[in-house]
Amino acid sequence: MGLAIEEGKIAQSKGEVPIGAILVQDGQVIGRGHNLRETDLNPVAHAEILAIQDGATRLKKWRLTGSTLYVTVEPCPMCAGAIVLARISRVVFAVMDPKGGAGGTCFNILESPWTNHRVEVTSGVREDEVRELMQTFFRDLREKRGRKK
């Protein structure tokens, strides 16, 4: 999770929401990603999507069975769908997303019996640290926007 948090901090340094993701297989990092939606003006440039793409490219295969995705925030429905389609075995995240989380909070796409693959989910890993990172980012953003008025 530490590497995912570092990816989140890279995103934050670019003015992005500090979400980072690391894809691991057999103890080796095979994919990395951090939010780039604002930087790339791309609505699908989520940390999880970028880490999955990186891992698939490095392994030269789209089935990522046996891998674990570490992410700072609970995946959204789009990312959860990509995780299922990539056959990732496990997702570990720090904080839940009460406005759109798809790993059990609002939706449970990752463990749904209606999909062709189920993902093991672990939540709350380094939760306090990531919650503070997120709260600081949004507090600073609100202050910055308040000063521009």
pLDDT at 145 over 90: no
**Domain ranges for the chain:** 1-148
- Which residues are catalytic, by number? 48
pLDDT tier for residue 144 given thresholds of 50, 70 and 90: confident
Distance CA 15, CA 98 (A): 22
User: Tell me, what amino acid is at 24?
Assistant: V
Report whether 76 belongs to an annotated binding site: yes
Q: Which CATH architecture has domain 1-148?
A: 3-Layer(aba) Sandwich (3.40)
Whole-Å CA distances, 75 to 114, 135, 144: 18, 18, 27
Q: Is residue 47 within 8 Å of 71, Cβ to Cβ? A: yes
- In the block, tokens 């003015």 appear at 15
Distance CA 50, CA 71 (A): 12
Distance CA 126, CA 146 (A): 31
In this prediction, residues 33-51 reach a mean pLDDT of 98
Report whether 106 belongs to an annotated binding site: no
Distance CA 1, CA 119 (A): 18
Interval 104-140: pLDDT, tens = 999 999 999 999 999 999 999 999 999 999 999 999 9
